[in-house]
Amino acid sequence: MSTVYRLENPCHPGGFLRRNIFEPNNLTVMGMASMLGITRQSLSDFLNEKTGLNAELAFRIEKAFGFNMEMMMEMQSRFDIALVRRREKKMQDELLARARSQPKKTGPQLVRTKPQIVASNRQRAAS
């Protein structure tokens, strides 16, 4: 059985770029945006963690500053996953409430609680 390690609070790639390139080099948003070939507003939103990283921007960052594109995309992925995990309980409760409000249907159960999933996995492992 493998163990999954989660970062509770991974870094947003915009914050990473702001702290490691933008601030130490005293760059302006306009100047850095020009270097990357993007709008000032797009860069500002990214550096302030209002928008996420896409493959196009990751490629531009790699070419301009040498940060590996795949590493930057992985950073964004970890950030996004952690964001959803922080909302997991609320989302699960909402999904269960919606499922319970639907008319009863015959057939397999569409939504299972975490304890039901664990019990099902144990039964499969035992057989």
pLDDT tens-digit profile, the chain (127 residues): 444 455 678 999 999 999 999 999 999 999 999 999 999 999 999 999 999 999 999 999 999 999 999 999 999 999 999 999 888 878 888 888 888 888 776 656 666 677 777 777 788 778 7
Q: What are the residues whose beta carbons fall under 8 Å from the beta carbon of 127, sequence distance 6 or more?
A: none
Nearest-angstrom CA–CA distance, 53 and 33: 14
Q: What is the DSSP letter of 25?
A: T
Q: How far apart are CA 101 and CA 21, in angstroms?
A: 51
> For tokens 């990751």, what's the residue?
58
The CATH superfamily assigned to 13-86 is: lambda repressor-like DNA-binding domains (1.10.260.40)
Entry pTM: 0.67
Supply the pLDDT for residue 126: 80
**Any idea where the domains of the chain sit in the sequence?**
13-86, 88-126
| CA distances (Å), origin 94, targets 3, 39, 68, 97, 99 | 28, 38, 38, 5, 9
As a whole number of angstroms, the distance between CA 26 and CA 67 comes to 18
